[in-house]
Structure 1
């Protein structure tokens, strides 16, 4: 069975390389969104009338930060399982 978080998993095939690249783009987008939410939320706290909106930006940013490890774990599980049917007969 293939190990999780093993660098060779992302190089197994063209399909795994494309999948890895797509998830990395999503990861970067989520990371950037989280950072921007925290910056915007921080600036909005300068004005008391915008405090509620600032709190929502912090909540959204926090959710984005929670999505990041979820994306990474999903990526690694899928990469480890990708093309793993080659040795299926040996495991049965």
Structure 2
């Protein structure tokens, strides 16, 4: 098993379940980042709200940085799940 294997999500039902959960988180973070950038852009039209706009851009940037982190954590979770399934097969007396 390797990191970022495109077939990893189809290895088992547990892998498919993990894939779905991580995709929900990934999409929510993506949506939140986009929303922060849109709100920040609108706030920059007024000089009085530029500080708030800067904060929205910062939060949006942090959310965009979280996206590859979510993908990496998912892949590490796949690896751990694969090791557990391999161990379970070894321990199966049948």
Tell me, in whole angstroms, the C-alpha distance in 1 between the residues paired with 2:57 and 2:20: 28
Q: Compute the RMSD of aligned alpha carbons.
A: 1.5
CA contact (8 A) 1:11 1:17 kept: yes
1:57 aligns with 2:31: no
CA distance in 2, matches of 1:65, 1:77: 20
Q: TM-score, normalised by structure 2?
A: 0.86
Conserved? CA contact 1:9–1:80, under 8 Å: no
Counterparts of 2:24 and 2:13, CA distance in 1: 17
* 3-state DSSP of counterpart to 2:7: helix
Alignment pair present for 1:9 and 2:8: yes
Find runs of 4+ consecutive structure 1 residues off by over 6 angstroms.
Answer: none
Deviation at 1:47, TM superposition (A): 0.5
Q: Distance in 2 between matches of 1:74 and 1:14?
A: 18
**TM-score, reference length from structure 1:** 0.88
Q: Confirm or deny: 8 A CA contact 1:27 1:68 kept in the other structure.
A: yes
CA distance in 2, matches of 1:81, 1:58: 35
